[in-house]
């Protein structure tokens, strides 16, 4: 079975859960193989993740493109409706 790295239901309360993926592991499903993830709510791993984010800042050009795209999509269309 092909997995895409999405978090599982048990990851819901974990601080490493970023919604659509885990902050540390590519395959969170495999971490729950023995009914408990060894890194569940691990503060040390979370702090390492935050430090890594600080070392590698978000690409500013990419963020500007995202903001511009959001503004473009709020315009009116031919039917007179706005996309949200």
pLDDT of residue 77: 64
Is 50 within the bounds of a domain? Answer: yes
Is 62 within the bounds of a domain? Answer: yes
pLDDT of residue 60: 87
| Full domain range(s) for residue 66 | 9-34+42-72
In total, how many domains does the chain have? 1
> Low-confidence residues of the chain, pLDDT below 50?
none
pLDDT of residue 44: 93
Closest by alpha carbon to 40, among 83, 8, 65? 8
pLDDT of residue 78: 67
Tell me how far CA of residue 70 lies from CA of 64, 66, 75, in angstroms: 10, 6, 10
Tell me how far CA of residue 81 lies from CA of 11, 31, 68, in angstroms: 38, 45, 19
pLDDT of residue 2: 66
Is 63 within the bounds of a domain? Answer: yes
What's the CA dihedral at 57, 59, 64, 70 to 10 degrees? -90
Is 22 within the bounds of a domain? Answer: yes
């Amino acid at each position: 079975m092909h997995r895409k790295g999405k978090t599982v239901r048990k990851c819901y309360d974990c601080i490493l859960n970023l919604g659509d993926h885990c902050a540390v592991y590519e395959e969170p499903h495999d971490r729950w193989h023995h009914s408990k993830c060894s890194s569940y709510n691990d503060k040390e791993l979370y702090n390492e993740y935050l430090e890594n984010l600080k070392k590698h800042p978000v690409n500013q050009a990419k963020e500007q493109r995202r903001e511009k795209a959001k503004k473009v999509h709020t315009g009116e269309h031919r039917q007179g409706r706005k996309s949200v």
